[in-house]
A and B are shown apart, each in its own frame.
Chain A
């Protein structure tokens, strides 16, 4: 009796096939419908988490750093929370103007730090301290639609097993060698190609694709236009009998077809050739199936083949790029989210510009960390602020108003001789010198952010990242202007600020490693002023250029 190795005994198992139970297709359909929801849910949850984190972080830091937020009130509710405190330059000018004034009133202008106490004296009212308590509400309502999409595709019970085909192609030896050489090149390409997280990635098949060694039984050579096989003499063997695990039976071919000319290049040519099959030998059912498969192939094949090389190049670039350097500039708008008031008037939003450089390091495909430098401006604008100007008025003395009226004069201006008056006290003051104007305050910082970035979308040339993190800023410019004229500085401004930031970067590759991006962002400044409130929330929109390397 002839002897053989164990591999030979089991060689028949190489082509082992078995028709799966019919209910499996239904279960696969169910699973196919579910993951989409999951993925979407994950995306929304992560976006919501980032948003929540971005909003909660500043609040937590804010309340942990300043347990008491003190605000002064004149007892009549006239003064709201804010006071504009101006330069110490005030002193000389006010002294000149206040010849007849009470010494106490002069003293009120002597020192900026004494403003609170002098105000108390002027008002003859109690300075009451109110402790504001703010609660940060973060409501996140997540509604999930759990509408189970039912499959419209009803598979007849006997559909799967009966229609399953054991298909075999018997390639000529010439084809095999051709196919193998092509496999080799394919796999070498595979080694370098960056496929996206599919299970396929894990296989390192080395120089030869062993799975393709079974190509002799692959319908795919004919179904999917395999360009690399120069001459494809595919023989289709359709086994119309479906019997579980019976490959021998599958070899009882209903018909054998020879495809003499298969075009190397186009699917159209391929389908043309296929139409040359000896259809007489095909049963109607089989030819219909074949036609459907060809249509199927068209659907898969059409747009992808041409872009392959380009995609590969892009992926190769992506793979190497760890660092990115960006320059950006944009607009920002500081918002009054707490309805804060200054001198009885609501603080309005203020637009400003920002610009800077940023660098990012990719930790992996999804995550990156970044930092940089940014010049940004936080501001607020208060309309209809009442003030008294002593400019050109030799007889003007701020103290006059105070002594006559017993009502507060909130702030005094310095080099231009301005006294800012709150709304509530404006009525109480007599005189024609009271004017109103627009008060602008700008605090410019150089900031250093530290951000974590998560890639939520990355396909072809486009990508979307969500960024969140914190920043520290150093005050570099401090200006208070009344009707466009600078009247000094806000002396309660902190030299160093910190806060949190949340942004989304939408990026598009324009040339090799160069990208353009747009970045909607929001920043929260925790401590712009040391004892007063100020616009702390800022929207921003940056536009920039990004180079990866």
Chain B
């Protein structure tokens, strides 16, 4: 399987849309997303014999991709990534409930990608991967508090942007 190019292509064809979508959500620009996508797929094919058939194959693929994404983000911003700075303006702001506004996925993707790296990563892990703050903290090597505050800040920023659209539309 490891060297079966045809099999590799099949796997690529099956899972590449979902995995590329993940890369786009985690990386700020498309070029970076492409780079990580390639590198992660190479890892997948190199390590495919280590897949133990525990859990789903797609879950295994996603884990590899997300680890690679986080590794890349960490390398990019080694110093400033996941700074644990308390911000009272956002950390204790209660989440507002927003009116449903039908939005295109492209637009939503744009909002996510506009978030600072650290907020975007925590937001992605919490909202899409359904991870708990404890798990995120372990994965990103940050405190649970930082994870929570990063998530709140991400939500706050997204909220603002959605509200601004809403206000723009109503005006």
Interface 1/0s, chain A 1-27, versus B by CB < 8 A? Answer: 111111111111111111111001101
A21 to B34, CA, bound (A): 9
Q: Please state if A10 and B58 are interface contacts (CB–CB under 8 Å).
A: no
Q: Please state if A211 and B98 are interface contacts (CB–CB under 8 Å).
A: no
* CB of B58, distance to nearest CB on chain A (Å): 4
* CB of B133, distance to nearest CB on chain A (Å): 11
Q: Please state if A211 and B46 are interface contacts (CB–CB under 8 Å).
A: no
Residue A245 lies at the interface, judged by CB distance under 8 Å to chain B:
yes
Of residues B12, B17, B37, B155, which shows the largest number of chain A Cβ atoms within 10 Å of its Cβ? B17
Using a CB-CB cutoff of 8 Å, which residues 102-155 of chain B contact chain A? 103, 105-106, 108-109, 112, 127-132, 134-135, 138-139, 155
Q: Please state if A2 and B99 are interface contacts (CB–CB under 8 Å).
A: yes
Q: Please state if A164 and B34 are interface contacts (CB–CB under 8 Å).
A: no
Q: Please state if A16 and B43 are interface contacts (CB–CB under 8 Å).
A: no
In the complex, which residues of chain A have a beta carbon less than 8 angstroms from the beta carbon of B12?
Answer: 25, 28, 160
Residue B101 lies at the interface, judged by CB distance under 8 Å to chain A:
yes
In the complex, which residues of chain B have a beta carbon less than 8 angstroms from the beta carbon of A196?
Answer: 50
In the complex, which residues of chain A have a beta carbon less than 8 angstroms from the beta carbon of B57?
Answer: 218, 220, 223-224
Residue A163 lies at the interface, judged by CB distance under 8 Å to chain B:
yes
With A200-B63, A211-B59 known as contacts, the answer to whether A16 contacts B105 (CB < 8 A) is yes
In the complex, which residues of chain B have a beta carbon less than 8 angstroms from the beta carbon of A189?
Answer: 54
In the complex, which residues of chain B have a beta carbon less than 8 angstroms from the beta carbon of A394?
Answer: none
Q: Please state if B14 and A9 are interface contacts (CB–CB under 8 Å).
A: no
A15 to B5, CA, bound (A): 27
* CB of B102, distance to nearest CB on chain A (Å): 10
* CB of B162, distance to nearest CB on chain A (Å): 7
* CB of A315, distance to nearest CB on chain B (Å): 11
* CB of B160, distance to nearest CB on chain A (Å): 11
Q: Please state if B25 and A293 are interface contacts (CB–CB under 8 Å).
A: no
With A19-B16, A245-B105 known as contacts, the answer to whether A220 contacts B155 (CB < 8 A) is no
Of residues A211, A245, A299, which shows the largest number of chain B Cβ atoms within 10 Å of its Cβ? A211
A210 to B64, CA, bound (A): 13
Using a CB-CB cutoff of 8 Å, which residues 13-46 of chain B contact chain A? 13-14, 16-18, 20-22, 24-25, 34, 37-43, 45-46
A22 to B39, CA, bound (A): 16
* CB of A361, distance to nearest CB on chain B (Å): 28
With A16-B25, A199-B68, A203-B63 known as contacts, the answer to whether A3 contacts B55 (CB < 8 A) is no
Residue B51 lies at the interface, judged by CB distance under 8 Å to chain A:
yes
A193 to B58, CA, bound (A): 19
When C-beta atoms are compared, the residue in chain B nearest to A219 turns out to be B14
* CB of B112, distance to nearest CB on chain A (Å): 7
A211 to B128, CA, bound (A): 9
A15 to B127, CA, bound (A): 12
In the complex, which residues of chain B have a beta carbon less than 8 angstroms from the beta carbon of A7?
Answer: 127
Interface 1/0s, chain A 489-502, versus B by CB < 8 A? Answer: 00000000000000
Interface 1/0s, chain A 211-245, versus B by CB < 8 A? Answer: 11111011111011111000000000000001001
**Complex partner residue of A5 from B24, B54, B95, B129, CB under 8 angstroms:** B95
* CB of B1, distance to nearest CB on chain A (Å): 5
A211 to B130, CA, bound (A): 8
Residue B66 lies at the interface, judged by CB distance under 8 Å to chain A:
yes
Q: Please state if A6 and B155 are interface contacts (CB–CB under 8 Å).
A: yes
With A9-B108, A165-B14, A299-B4 known as contacts, the answer to whether A3 contacts B97 (CB < 8 A) is yes
In the complex, which residues of chain A have a beta carbon less than 8 angstroms from the beta carbon of B49?
Answer: 304
In the complex, which residues of chain B have a beta carbon less than 8 angstroms from the beta carbon of A155?
Answer: 9
In the complex, which residues of chain B have a beta carbon less than 8 angstroms from the beta carbon of A152?
Answer: 5
In the complex, which residues of chain B have a beta carbon less than 8 angstroms from the beta carbon of A193?
Answer: 52
With A24-B34, A209-B55 known as contacts, the answer to whether A31 contacts B42 (CB < 8 A) is yes
A6 to B103, CA, bound (A): 12
Residue B67 lies at the interface, judged by CB distance under 8 Å to chain A:
yes
In the complex, which residues of chain A have a beta carbon less than 8 angstroms from the beta carbon of B71?
Answer: 199, 202
Give the contact-size bracket for chain A. 35 or more
Using a CB-CB cutoff of 8 Å, which residues 67-115 of chain B contact chain A? 67-68, 70-71, 95, 97-101, 103, 105-106, 108-109, 112
* CB of B48, distance to nearest CB on chain A (Å): 7
A220 to B56, CA, bound (A): 5
Q: Please state if B105 and A206 are interface contacts (CB–CB under 8 Å).
A: no
Q: Please state if B58 and A6 are interface contacts (CB–CB under 8 Å).
A: no
Residue A29 lies at the interface, judged by CB distance under 8 Å to chain B:
yes
When C-beta atoms are compared, the residue in chain B nearest to A223 turns out to be B57
In the complex, which residues of chain A have a beta carbon less than 8 angstroms from the beta carbon of B64?
Answer: 198-200
* CB of A531, distance to nearest CB on chain B (Å): 58
**Complex partner residue of A206 from B6, B14, B41, B135, CB under 8 angstroms:** B135
With A16-B109, A28-B12, A200-B60 known as contacts, the answer to whether A186 contacts B54 (CB < 8 A) is yes
When C-beta atoms are compared, the residue in chain B nearest to A220 turns out to be B57
Q: Please state if B53 and A304 are interface contacts (CB–CB under 8 Å).
A: yes
**Complex partner residue of A153 from B9, B40, B68, CB under 8 angstroms:** B9
Residue A247 lies at the interface, judged by CB distance under 8 Å to chain B:
yes
In the complex, which residues of chain A have a beta carbon less than 8 angstroms from the beta carbon of B103?
Answer: 9
**Complex partner residue of B98 from A4, A12, A198, CB under 8 angstroms:** A4
Q: Please state if B55 and A18 are interface contacts (CB–CB under 8 Å).
A: no
Using a CB-CB cutoff of 8 Å, which residues 444-465 of chain A contact chain B? none
Residue A114 lies at the interface, judged by CB distance under 8 Å to chain B:
no
In the complex, which residues of chain B have a beta carbon less than 8 angstroms from the beta carbon of A289?
Answer: 10
Q: Please state if A292 and B10 are interface contacts (CB–CB under 8 Å).
A: yes
When C-beta atoms are compared, the residue in chain B nearest to A183 turns out to be B55
Q: Please state if A9 and B100 are interface contacts (CB–CB under 8 Å).
A: yes
* CB of B64, distance to nearest CB on chain A (Å): 5
Q: Please state if A31 and B38 are interface contacts (CB–CB under 8 Å).
A: yes
A18 to B30, CA, bound (A): 12
Q: Please state if A18 and B20 are interface contacts (CB–CB under 8 Å).
A: yes
Q: Please state if A1 and B59 are interface contacts (CB–CB under 8 Å).
A: no
A-B contacts, 6 of them at CB < 8 A, read A14-B127, A27-B38, A165-B14, A212-B56, A296-B10, A299-B1
Q: Which residues of B contact A (CB under 8 A)?
A: 1, 4-14, 16-18, 20-22, 24-25, 34, 37-43, 45-60, 62-64, 66-68, 70-71, 95, 97-101, 103, 105-106, 108-109, 112, 127-132, 134-135, 138-139, 155, 158-159, 162
Q: Known contacts A32-B45, A193-B52, A224-B57; can you find 14 more A-B pairs with CB under 8 A? A: A6-B98, A6-B159, A11-B127, A13-B108, A13-B112, A28-B12, A190-B54, A206-B131, A217-B58, A292-B10, A293-B10, A300-B1, A300-B51, A304-B52
Which 5 A-B residue pairs are closest in the complex by CB-CB distance?
Answer: A220-B57, A17-B17, A199-B67, A17-B21, A211-B59
